[in-house]
Amino acid sequence: MIDTITTADYQSFRKFLEDASGIVLGDNKQYLVTSRLTKFISDSEIDSFGTLMKRMKTDNKLRNRMMDAMTTNETSWFRDVYPFDILKEKLLPELVKTPSRTIRIWSAACSTGQEPYSLSMMVQEYLQSKPGNLSTDTVQIIGTDISPSVLSIAKSGVYEGVAVSRGLPKERKSRFFREVNDGWEVSADIKKRVNFRELNLMQKYTLLGRFDIIYCRNVLIYFSTELKRDILSRMAQSLNPGGFLVLGGSESITNYSDEFNLIRWRNGVIYQLKP
């Protein structure tokens, strides 16, 4: 168990975390590191924070587990509602105006998969409300995250009682899930249009291909100004002409990018790539 972190160890850890993931810790966040890593260090049978820093230099598995412990995986189904309503009511109707094309959606930093599966449910509801407007295999959704462990949960599509209930209306639970031994599994119709890949947002995005919509919500707040600009620039390059970017409710591209036009819809905003 760790009670305190020396200033030198904390500064070393801050630099390591930023270099590895882009996440920037403030000057006085020792308490956050302690709360996130105490159990991890105890379970790993490490006697001090200094020992942890030394072992992470050569132990890739330990480093990955530490990243899992430090990365915030707060998520829920249909989080904030608005980003999902706009997909079904505005973005999909706009995109289907161009026939015979595949619509591709990227859910960045998707954690355990609730966001991409929620998006797939909205696609399914759109298909049911507008039969004939879109074929069932026209939409592809890619979910990415830096953490192998959360992606393992996402790929399984199985969620225990508390995880499946957060933000999920009972009606959608009955329509889009089936009960299994370990909890509730996302139905095959929803899972089949979603794929998951491990990706650090500091890496290149070219292998993912191009997208019509990118969801990057509640992620940029953890990065430096320079990295925010870089990520937004590369996401702009990953969008098809006229593509859309959806950020978190408290996030904005102001001061970070001039490649998008702001679109207001109901009580929220999204961004569209400039011509």
Over residues 51-62, the mean pLDDT reads 81
pTM more than 0.75? yes
**Among 70, 93, 108, where does a domain finish?**
70
Confidence of residue 123 (pLDDT cuts 50, 70, 90): very high
Residue 1 belongs to a domain: no
Domain that holds residue 152: 82-273
Same domain for 185 and 112: yes
Same domain for 98 and 149: yes
Residue 192 belongs to a domain: yes
For residue 174, the model assigns a pLDDT of 95
Same domain for 179 and 158: yes
215 Cβ neighbours under 8 A, 6+ residues apart:
83, 105, 106, 107, 108, 115, 119, 246
Q: Give dist(CA 62, CA 148) in Å, integer.
A: 13
Provide the CATH number for the domain around residue 47: 1.10.155
Confidence of residue 73 (pLDDT cuts 50, 70, 90): low
Residue 145 dihedral angles phi and psi, to the nearest 5°: -160, 155
For residue 242, the model assigns a pLDDT of 95
**Among 70, 93, 118, where does a domain finish?**
70
Going by C-alpha positions, the residue among 146, 94, 90 that lies closest to residue 266 is: 90
Same domain for 207 and 108: yes
Residue 2 belongs to a domain: no
C-alpha 151, offset from chain centre: 10
Same domain for 196 and 159: yes
Provide the CATH number for the domain around residue 251: 3.40.50.150
Neighbours of 275 (CB within 10 A): 6
Q: Give dist(CA 200, CA 108) in Å, integer.
A: 9
Confidence of residue 32 (pLDDT cuts 50, 70, 90): confident
Same domain for 166 and 61: no
Residue 208 belongs to a domain: yes
Same domain for 46 and 109: no
257 Cβ neighbours under 8 A, 6+ residues apart:
229, 232, 233, 236
H-helix segments, the chain: 7-21, 30-43, 49-56, 60-70, 82-86, 92-95, 114-129, 148-156, 161-165, 170-176, 188-191, 225-238
> How many domains, the chain?
2
